[in-house]
Amino acid sequence: MGITRRIFMITGAAVGGGLLLGVGGVSAHLLTHNRVGVQQDAHESDDSTHINMWLRITPDNKIIVINPHTDMGQGSSTGLMQIVADELDADWSQMLVEQAPADTAYSNGKVFEGFVREMMTPPEWASTLLENGFYRMGDLMKMQMTGGSSAVRFTGWDSMRHAAAATRQMLIAAAAEKLNVAANTLTTEAGNVLHADSGRSLPYGELAAAAAVLDSPKDIQLKSREQYRYVGKPVARVDVPSKVLANEDYGIDAAVPDMQYAAIATSGVFGAQVKSIDNLDEVKAARGVSDVLIVPDGVAVVADNPWRAEKAVRTVKFTREPHDNDTLSTESLVNRQRQALSEDLTSGMTAGAPDDIQTTVNAEYLVPYLAHASLEPMNATVWQQDGKLHVIGGVQNPLLARARAAKEAGLDLDDVVFQARQMGGGFGRRVAFSMSDDEPLNWLIQAVRIAVDTGKPVKTTWSRETDTRSDVYRPMVMAQFEGALADDGKPSLWRSRSYGKEMNIKAVAPPYKIPNLAVSYADLPHPVPTGFWRSVEHSQHGYFVESFIDELAISAGVDPLQYRLNLLDENSPAAQVLLKVAEMSGWRSGADNQGRAMGVALVHSFGSTVAQVVEASLTPSGPKAHRVWCAVDCGVPVNPQAIEAQVQGSVHYALSAALYGKCDLKDGGVVQSNFHDYRIVSMRDAPRVEVELLPLGSPVGGVGEIGVPPLAPALCNALTVLDGKRRRVLPLV
Amino acid sequence: MIKLNVNGVEHSLDIEPDMPLLWALREETALRGTKFGCGIGMCGACTVHIDGDPIRSCSYPVSAAVGKEINTIESIGTADAPHAVQRAWIEHQVPQCGYCQSGMQMAAVALLNTNPQPSDEDIDNAMTNLCRCGTYDRIRAAIKTAAKELV
Ligand code: FES
Ligand code: FES
């Protein structure tokens, strides 16, 4: 499905009955200037210029925001609509949102750009070049990703805000021409351009066609924070009612004519393929079973009901190709990591003269591989129709998923139609994009193979067991620390070594002022498939760093919260959130008379800063978190109630990992299989979580992941207060 | 033939007696609001009511449901006439991904039917469904709001 030129026509009815508004020009701020080239490359016949993919305005004055991210309930659709409504002076009742098609013309380089800029600061002269480059890259890499908490802060704040503001100015210019008055006599309100002197008003819908052919303004006027009517307000999320009424179709709910169902059994060893199916006739004899076939990483059974398929696939006996991973175990992997840390390491960050100082506090930490365990198991529905391959799936990167499906089927991108559906959780599992050789879309590849090889319309659904054992896991990481204290108790040295390539060394280094610092890592891969897991490297390194700083505080005999403050600039967001969380929690450093104690942690991630205090106790069945307080600096809080929900949800997600989460390796595969041995916190385990957002004037930060990293260290720090034991290995139960 | 009464409608289905109710509902009667999360009775995404009691349909054979009243999320409320639980769910903006929420609401409706003023402890005992997105704070608040409304 190529996007036809019609979509990009500047005049007339575009697909969907709206009008794409052009925002072009060569503004360093605008994301759109280089889309023209990209889109023209994608559609040779397209000679139109000023094009913007974010906004459409319909003749009946609806503003349609085109979201190049997939909303998994984090509220990005609503957040983007709020930003656009404010900059455009639109009324909320006019606002609609659509998911961007999985098309190259809607690739999103802004996400890339945001990440790279977060890790390095390019010189000013390189900025425009870079921006162009990122869009080219986004195009080439089929980047349409939702991940890294990027939707609102990069796509929304950096791009759509400017695009909407420019559009408003263009609508005014179009109105000025039409009414034959000066532009500065016009104002905008609730989706209309107003001419106060004559009392005339023109709805945007009537101006869009004329506005679309204008040059975008060089000087874009953005609203000030005082002028916002929607940004910063607790707006009800647009996706909530249909979810509550169960009217939402998830990938797993796909239904197409004559659909069959596939279930998968994994080979059991990462990377090992199945050589032969040894009881084919027996499996095929089961009711409803039509096909039994070898697929990448396992075998599939196709039947006329998902339960029949699953039941049958569990009876398949197969022979596996031998593989290097056959003997892989957690023990062998732990040893491998420890060995690696004693060998040559890559230096990530060095300051001062770390080698001169005698260390006094030493610690080794270890966190396991973790599955994402989104509640909807991975699934995809694939069929062939009218010469095209059709795919329905829930992914965090529809464009890349479409490209992978095409590659697997040996087709051109244009011969694959991809429908992105609602996802029952993502948490990074469905990002589709990988920093390693591992294939995060492994379920989609299987689904495509099955549909192509059988020639049938097939919905492939993983069982929970297959889902748990075929993930791209959060990496297991070992980290070793050495510290020394100066006479005033402050750290005089911090040295760390950790396993795994670190793209973002800022995530590994402490956020504190420490004169001598040496952060290094073993740049080595994992034999187990790895991927992005909510908050990525912050989830491990936040735990390490914030545990070790607590160890230093204790050895200095200083209150851990005060100790952190002593190492921060007084006015920094980090110090501010710490002070706030102390106030919220009524911070105290000892245990109370009910046997409860508090622990604190502070982590900066995805452009936001979070301090958490966990109040915990030790019960006969293990540690219990009773309450969690979170003080958050995420810059402008676009939708405070959605942010609160994200932080609360992150706390529970992280608590599951801290208490229970582990994927053990044995004989080359994962031992855990379902929620009985890969436990998730339930209502009973869930602490009450209070969230406050601080108005510190920081740039807009991400919110979907930032609540995860501080939880484990804050919990462990609290438990140490109770029994003096330092918990350096997760999970706790 | 297995005869099932689902949301007041009789279905006569050519299925095995040991087929879990979940798969009969989703694929044989096309009621897909009831979700699959684990298949072993752990997560509650598949919660439906049998004669008013919440059960986990992934682990409940259709043979056991014969002659009983089965109710799914589709029968609880509509956009025009949402159930008090659904109104509270919207007011508190409970769902994130939303995948667990039909099961959560079925569990909450069943709880409030038998215990109109549940304590926190009652909520902990009854709401054993799992939410991977971690919407527990708001589920608890929404149940309390719905309880007030139902008085
Ligand atoms: S799917 Fe039935 S309890 Fe999880
Ligand atoms: S809202 Fe996503 S699993 Fe509960």
Q: What is the pLDDT of residue A40?
A: 32
pLDDT band of residue A427 (cuts 50, 70, 90) is: very high
In a domain, A109, yes or no: no
pLDDT of the residue at A437: 84
- Beta strands in A239-355, from DSSP E residues, in sequence order: 260-266, 274-277, 289-295, 298-303, 318-320, 346-351
- How many domains are there within chain A? 3
End-to-end CA distance of chain B: 42
Q: What is the mean pLDDT of residues A619-634?
A: 97
Residue whose token pair is 């029952």: A424
Same-domain check for residues A287 and A436: yes
ipTM of the modeled complex: 0.98
pLDDT, average across residues A161-173: 91
In this structure, the answer to whether residues A504 and A604 fall within a common structural domain is yes
Q: What is the pLDDT of residue A131?
A: 54
End-to-end Cα, chain A, rounded Å: 50
Q: Does position A333 have pLDDT exceeding 70, yes or no? A: yes
Q: What is the pLDDT of residue A15?
A: 29
Q: How far is CA A439 from the centre of its chain?
A: 17
Give yes or no: residues A415 and A481 share one domain. Answer: no
User: What are the start-end ranges of the E strands in chain B?
Assistant: 2-6, 9-13, 47-50, 53-56, 69-71
Residue A402 and residue A281 share a domain: yes
- Nearest alpha-carbon partner for A389 in A421, A419, A417: A417
Query: From CA A183, how far away is CA A211, in angstroms rounded?
Result: 13
B4 near B71, Cβ under 8 Å?
Answer: no
Which domains are assigned to chain B? Answer: 2-75 (3.10.20.30), 84-150 (1.10.150.120)
The ligand minimizing its distance to the Cα of A680 is: 2
Q: Are residues A616 and A538 in the same domain?
A: yes
Q: Are A316 and A391 part of one and the same domain?
A: yes
With a pLDDT cut of 90, the percent of chain A lying above it is: 74
CA distance A669 to A663: 9
A682 neighbourhood in chain B, CB within 8 Å:
127-130, 136
Do A630 and A704 fall within a single domain? yes
Ligand 1 centroid distance, CA of A306 (Å): 15
Confidence at residue B121, expressed as pLDDT on a 0 to 100 scale: 97
In a domain, A592, yes or no: yes
* A368 found inside a domain: no
- SS3 state of residue A431: coil
Query: Based on the domain organization, do A605 and A494 belong to the same domain?
Result: yes
The pLDDT value given to residue A214: 86
Contacts of B28 in chain A (CB under 8 A): 305
- Residue of B102, B125, B138 lying closest to A246 (CB–CB): B102
Whether residue A375 and residue B33 make contact (CB cut-off 8 A), yes or no, is no
**Which A residues 368-397 touch B at CB under 8 Å?**
373-377
Q: Using a CB-CB distance cutoff of 8 angstroms, which residues of chain A are in contact with residue B102?
A: 246
pLDDT band at A27 (very low <50, low <70, confident <90, very high): very low
Show which of A415, A432, A461 is a domain's final residue. A461
Q: Contacts of residue B132 in chain A, CB cutoff 8 Å?
A: 373-375, 425, 427, 653, 680
A552 and A439 inside one domain: no
What is the mean predicted confidence (pLDDT) over A441-450? 97
Is A644 part of a structural domain of the chain? yes
A508 in a structural domain: yes
pLDDT tens digit string along B68-77? 999 999 999 9
Rounded mean pLDDT, A19-32:
36
A107 within some domain: no
**How do residues A364-388 score in pLDDT, each as one tens digit?**
999 999 999 999 999 999 999 999 9
| A639-653 pLDDT, tens digit each | 999 999 999 999 999
pLDDT at A147: 63
Residues 6+ apart with CB under 8 A from A175: A183, A186, A193, A195, A202, A207
CB–CB of A310 and B89 under 8 A?
no
Q: Is residue A553 assigned to a domain?
A: yes
Residue B119 scores a pLDDT above 80: yes
Domain boundary among A244, A273, A298: A244
Domain that holds residue A544: 477-723
Show which of A405, A431, A461 is a domain's final residue. Answer: A461
Cα(A424) to centroid(ligand 2), Å: 7
Rounded to the nearest angstrom, the distance between the alpha carbon of B99 and the centre of ligand 2 is: 5
Structural domain includes residue A355:
no
Q: Could you give the residue ranges of the DSSP H alpha helices within A588-688?
A: 640-659
How confident is the model over A507-517, as pLDDT tens digits? 899 999 999 99
pLDDT at A127 over 60: no
pLDDT tens for each residue of A247-298:
999 999 999 999 999 999 999 999 999 999 999 999 999 999 999 999 999 9
Cα–Cα distances (Å) from A637 to A101, A148, A231, A692, in that order, read 28, 17, 7, 11
How distant is the alpha carbon of residue A495 from its chain centre?
30
- Do A608 and A702 share a structural domain? yes
Tell me the average pLDDT across B12-35. Answer: 97
What pLDDT sits at residue A130? 52
Q: Is the CB of B98 under 6 A from ligand 2?
A: yes
Ligand 1 center to A571 CA (angstroms): 49
Q: How far apart are CA A405 and CA A438, in angstroms?
A: 16
Average pLDDT, chain A: 88
Comparing A272 with A110, which gets the higher pLDDT? A272
Q: Is A444 in the same domain as A527? A: no
**Do residue A95 and residue A169 come from a single domain?**
yes
Kindly report the CATH number assigned to the domain that includes residue A391: 3.30.365.10
